[in-house]
Amino acid sequence: MILTLHLLALALYGVATALTLAPVMGMRTPPRFLTIALPCAGAAMHVVAVSQLTLVGLAPALSMLALCLVLLQLATERLVRGSAVGFFTGPLATGLVGLALLIGLAPGAEPSAGRNAWFILHVALSVLGLALLALAFIAAALYLLQFRELKARRFGQVFQLFPPLERLDYLNRVALVAGFPALTLGVLLALGYAARFAGGLHVGKAQIVWGLFTWVVLGWAVWVRVVRRWDGRRAAFASIAGFSAVLLVYLALKLAEPGAERFL
Amino acid sequence: MNDGAMGIKVLGVNHRTAPLDVRERFAHGAHEVPGALARVMAAGASGGVLLSTCNRTEFYLVADEERVTDVVWDLLGERIHGGATAREYGYIARDRDAVRHLYRVSSGLDSMILGESQIQGQVRDAWEASRAQAGPVLHRLFQTALHVGARIRTETALGAGTASAASAAVTVAGKIFGDLAGRAALILGAGDMAELAATCLADEGVRVTLVANRTHERARVIAERLGANALTLDEAWPHFATTDIALCSTAAPHAVVTWERVGGVIGGRRGRPLCILDLAVPRDVDPAIAQIENVFLYDIDDLQTVAAQATARRHDEVPAAERIVEEETDLFWAWYGGLGVVPVIKEFRSRMEALRAAEVERALRHLGHLAPEDRARIEQLSQALLNKFLHQPTVALKAAAEEGRGYGLLEALRRLFGL
């Protein structure tokens, strides 16, 4: 059942992504309701599938991250008419679901943890935080591309398809400011869960050091945005730096200690 | 065809052949038109109209000498520097092609924004401004050009939609700010274009707060209409620190928004974006201003490019519009070809006949001894000679008329024989 629902979600995300990317390929823009209805249908199936998952291990986390990205894409479409966000979130979510299916959605090493409220909250907030930071990164990238086109007075596809600068800046700020506390709380819940239910913290020094480094970089990006009131290009670069730090540190740690049993 | 023969010509530059910085040098203000046309007329043109818009500067001429062409290129060439010549950017269309060209221009088929309607008014204004020098052929040509423009607008959907530089200004500003409601706009200049664009922005909820112009009185008139405050240009510069959109459309012959005037002021905006829309030709804004990071500067070419994208649907109407242009070109050409040929030939022949009769009569007065049949033979001989002499010119005139070149030959005939 989980597998079938994931496959259906994957198919719907795939078609929705193809439709979203059609204008970029020079094809006719599809009806708007299709580019909303298809990921909505996919997300509905995905929600049912994820609710049946034991949230332990890499594949369930990736699946949940994909779901969060699709839900954020739909929210973005609704709130800021930022359909161009789907150019990135669509392929990313589709790829993540595909990867989760390839890795295998079987429960990880600690199936009992998957039923613990602290653990579920930890996973949900951490994944939501990551998805929000990814959204902030996407908004920042779109901002920089649109900025470059507007400054260069080019009126091609980026000009026509991407949202206005200030809307992208707003999206970047909201996603970054929401994503950082969500991720922080997710990590704190993990610490609480480890202390209370798992008999202590079972992580290496490298994970602690690099984890702290990432948190500081992200914190700096939020600080300059909120306290120093950076906006526009500078804020976009800070946001990209923050998410890049998360991504690079995660990949480095994962390469150092491979395995699909744990997300990190 | 013989290029040197009297005929209709159009010489000029437009948005396809010359970039904006060249076109703005060629642009002629209304006060410059009579002087420019006087120079061309002095070189031998019998009629002239100068059409100068932000997209084109074109001389419509009835002329029979290549020297006139040289004068036009020289006249335009004096406005550019750096070793370039006007000829490099220019084009010439002759006779039927020139007629077709004007009809395409007046209907918006040749515009950067396909089907735009502003050109009709500009063609009418050019005709009005050149009325004294236009002459009968160009009067008729411009009159019919306006008719063709109106006909195409009525019978096709070439002008459908709202694509214009003014509406493109809204699109571009929207790509920077998203929602335009509540944004503040400053208008420099108090011409029709400035008012039109300001109205488009106001329709989107933009607050037009200030209107600045060289003369305060004119600024006040527009400001009252838009519910804004009026300023002189010098009072406007500090407001570049606070406004979101600056719309520039003055008639100044050089840039008025310069780095010296607003560079420091814009630097104090703390990164807030400023959208500057320069609708003027010559441009009002020094392009160096665009180097400031948070400044987004767009000139008329940029806005027309954006507007052109919005008019893609109009391309479907082009074949129908082109058919009307061809139809009307045929009608004009038929008129132009037969212009006065019959009455002039009649007058020419009767003038020759009168000369012949007078000369024969004078000769016969001295030949009173001749028998009546000999006198009749002389009469016949003179008649036959006249017919022989007039045959070729008459045939040539009629042929030229059918080819649409009758006007030039008729002019020559009138001059040669004092008709």
Spatial CB neighbours of B243, under 8 Å, sequence gap ≥ 6: B184, B185, B186, B209, B210, B274
Q: Is the dihedral of CA A210, A212, A217, A222 positive or negative?
A: positive
Catalytic (active site) residue B275: no
Q: Is residue B411 part of a domain?
A: yes
Classify residue B102: in a domain, yes or no.
Answer: yes
Within-domain flag for B1: no
Whether residue B192 is found in the same domain as residue B291? yes
Nearest by CB to B176, from A153, A160, A165: name it: A165
Q: Which residue has the tokens 């400044």?
A: B295
Whether the per-residue pLDDT at A80 is higher than 90: the answer is no
Q: Which residue has the tokens 């949940």?
A: A64
Q: How far apart are CA B322 and CA A82, in angstroms?
A: 41
Give the DSSP letter of residue A164. P
Quick: pLDDT tens for A122-157.
889 999 999 999 999 999 999 999 999 999 999 988
Nearest to A232 by CA among A223, A244, A224: A224
- The mean pLDDT value for A195-207 works out to 78
Q: For residue B340, what pLDDT is reported? A: 63
Residue B402 lies in a domain: yes
Nearest chain B residue (CA) to A143: B176
What pLDDT sits at residue B197?
A: 82
What pLDDT, on a 0 to 100 scale, did the predictor assign at position A109?
A: 45
pLDDT value, residue B143: 94
**pLDDT over 90, % of chain A:** 58
ipTM of the complex: 0.87
Please judge whether A165 and B294 are an interchain contact, meaning their C-beta atoms are less than 8 angstroms apart: no
Question: Is B264 in the same domain as B405?
Answer: no
State whether B175 and A165 contact (CB < 8 Å): yes
CB contact under 8 A, B177 and A150: no
CATH number of the domain within which B304 lies: 3.40.50.720
Low-confidence ranges of chain B (pLDDT < 70): 1-6, 65, 82-84, 160-163, 313, 338-340, 402-407
Same domain (yes/no): B74, B207: no
Report the residue from A155, A170, A232 with minimal CB separation from B294: A232
In-domain check, residue B280:
yes
Residues B356 and B238 in one domain: no
Q: What's the pLDDT tens digit per position in A163-180?
A: 999 999 999 999 999 999
Q: Which of the four pLDDT bands, split at 50, 70 and 90, describes residue A203?
A: confident
Contacts of A155 in chain B (CB under 8 A): 302, 305-306, 309
Q: Are the Cβ atoms of B178 and A166 closer than 8 angstroms?
A: yes
Q: Which residue of B has its CA nearest to A234?
A: B271
pLDDT per residue as tens digits for the range A28-55:
778 888 889 999 999 999 999 988 888 7
A164 neighbourhood in chain B, CB within 8 Å = 174-178
For chain A, what is the mean pLDDT?
Answer: 88
Closest partner residue to B306 (CB to CB) among A155, A166, A232 is: A155
Question: Do the chains contact at B273 and A151, CB–CB below 8 Å?
Answer: no
Q: What is the pLDDT of residues B360-382, one digit of tens each?
A: 989 888 888 888 888 889 989 99
Q: How close, in Å, is residue A55 to chain B by CA atoms? A: 40
B108/B180 same-domain check: no
| CB proximity A231 to B under 8 Å | yes
Q: Same domain for B261 and B329?
A: no
Asked if pLDDT for residue A99 goes beyond 60, the answer is yes
Which member of A155, A159, A164 has the closest CB to residue B178? Answer: A164
Does one domain contain both B11 and B141? yes
Instruction: Let me know whether B180 and B302 are in one domain.
Output: yes
The nearest CA of chain B is from the CA of A153 a distance in Å of 7
- Interchain CB distance below 8 Å, A233 and B293: yes
**Domain tally, chain B:** 3
Which of B271, B273, B298 lies at the smallest CB-CB distance from A153? Answer: B298
Confirm or reject contact between A106 and chain B (CB < 8 A): no
Query: Does some domain include residue B217?
Result: yes
Query: What single letter denotes the amino acid at residue B417?
Result: F
Two structure tokens written together for A46: 């995905």
B329 and B361: one domain? no
Give me the pLDDT at residue B1, please.
37
Asked whether residue B138 falls in the same domain as residue B170, the answer is no
> For residue B2, is it within any domain?
no
Distances (CA, A) of B228 to B183, B206, B243, B284: 13, 12, 13, 21
Beta bridge partners of B58: B12, B51
Residues B279 and B322 in one domain: no
CATH no. for residue B156?
3.30.460.30
Q: What's the pLDDT score for residue A107?
A: 54
**Statement: residue A108 has pLDDT above 90:** no
Residues B172, B154, single domain; the answer is no
Contact yes or no for A53/A60 (Cβ under 8 A): yes
Are B176 and A166 within 8 A, CB to CB? Answer: yes
In a domain? residue B188: yes
Domain that holds residue B96: 7-160+316-337
Interchain CB contact of A151 with B (< 8 Å): yes
Give the gap in angstroms from C-alpha A96 to the nearest C-alpha of chain B.
Answer: 32
Q: Which chain B positions have a beta carbon within 8 Å of A143's beta carbon? A: none
Q: A153 touching B, CB under 8 A?
A: yes
Contact by Cβ (8 Å): B339, B410: yes
Choice among B54, B200, B248, B275 that is catalytic: B54
Burial of B81 (0-12, 13-18, 19+ CB in 10 A): exposed
